[in-house]
Structure 1
């Protein structure tokens, strides 16, 4: 593994990005600056990053057709949702709509013949969470609710839940955001709430504990993760040893 690739992974890292987890944060990828990686054709948009001995980070990764990353290890585990296109590694081919969890210590060599857009979280696995997960959400089971939305569960461990939400056109989802916070990515369509409008690709991180009415005039699908922001806030606030 090349030295220049290490900052992308979970090695010692003093830099922090968007670590005020007590504040609601919205990032629109079309309006943000993407950073090229040392590997030609691969770009990254960091959403948050913190940690010392083991980095925890959330980002979008964009692979041009034919691009690849060298083999690397994920000391703290890796969580991926394939938003567009697809990639290949030692575990097979992973197309749009696939959800992956590779536990701590896992390695792979991702390549993308067609190009892809990924939502990635590194270093997010709790102790004891060692199961490898691979779910094709395109063929997954949706649990419908009479209010005009449906949920597809993806993962749950130690109070942290990951799932997809699909809102029908015109649906209004009124709820209390998880008291320990949530983050969401708009995978398809668009939605809005009292604080703004969110097109496809938008990333929302909310500290939680307040009511929200989410409206989707044309319908939308969201990737949602709840119950983890409060712990991240506490960890990010710890002084860095050095």
Structure 2
């Protein structure tokens, strides 16, 4: 399966374009934002857990990255309400569930094999936020290849200053606009290398998940299939 699989092209999915499809597990649905493969795919999705839904324990050979958008997401006895960032390295396993229901942003098979340490960050903790490049930033992960953060962009300010070498973002609060196009909360954008001076925060500002450096090698797992 290929969904927005040409990484040389801009890809945009707004909440009005969300198409919820069932996962293999009852009570769990997803919106496929980009995908290269079947169930063992390099994939970016918004996933919705109905109350009292769960997955059996399973392995993530290529790692998994999660940002909890609403509700509470659980792994066994650990519970993560909205605002938590979870990064589980290649070879990790878990048994996800949600008692009250949850919506999460998920990225699969997009980590380097050398990653070995799990990351758990509560982005609601203001001590994790610093002022960087004139705006508030919460660092989630950074290595020689990729950089992941949450950014609070002031009203009317450009998201990027100058050229970017490919970027992915998810609007978490407020909104963005670009030459008359509005990107409300929940909008996902993947932008190829270029300059984007017209992509600015709206009059209320914006909070965005921002990821760079990971688009140079978008290949999914070998032999991925449905």
TM-score by length of 2: 0.89
Give the root-mean-square deviation of aligned CA atoms.
2.4
Change (3 A) 1:125 1:187: same
Structure 1 residue 142: deviation in Å? 1.8
**Long gaps (5+) in structure 2:** none
Q: Map Cα deviations across residues 55-77 of structure 1 (whole Å, 9 max, x no partner).
A: 21111100111111111110100
Please give the secondary structure, in 2, of the residue aligned with 1:30.
helix
Report deviation, 1:185.
0.4
Question: 1:194 Cα shift?
Answer: 3.1
* Residue number among 128, 142, 152 corresponding to 2:138 in the alignment: 152
Structure 1 segments of 4 or more deviating over 3 A?
51-54, 169-174
| Count of aligned pairs between the two proteins | 221
Superposed, 1:1-242 pairs within 5 Å as: 15-51=1-37, 55-90=41-76, 92-140=78-126, 141-144=128-131, 147=134, 149-179=135-165, 181-194=166-179, 196-213=181-198, 214-232=200-218, 235=219
CA separation of 1:62/1:177 partners in 2, compared to 1, >3 Å: closer, same or farther?
Answer: farther
Describe the shift of the 1:165–1:112 C-alpha distance in structure 2 as closer, same or farther (beyond 3 A): same
Structure with a larger share of its residues in helix: 1
- Aligned equivalents of 2:107 and 2:125: distance in 1? 23
Q: Taking structure 1 as reference, are residues 63 and 54 closer, same or farther at Cα in structure 2, changes over 3 Å only?
A: closer
Q: Secondary structure at the match of 1:47?
A: strand
Shift of 1:209: 2.5
State the shift of 1:41 in Å.
1.6
Deviation (angstroms), 1:40: 2.2
SS at match of 2:112: coil
Higher relative contact order (CA 8 A, sep 6+): 2
Specify every segment of 5 or more residues in structure 1 that has no aligned partner in the other structure, as ranges.
1-14
Q: Which moved more, 1:160-169 or 1:130-139?
A: 160-169
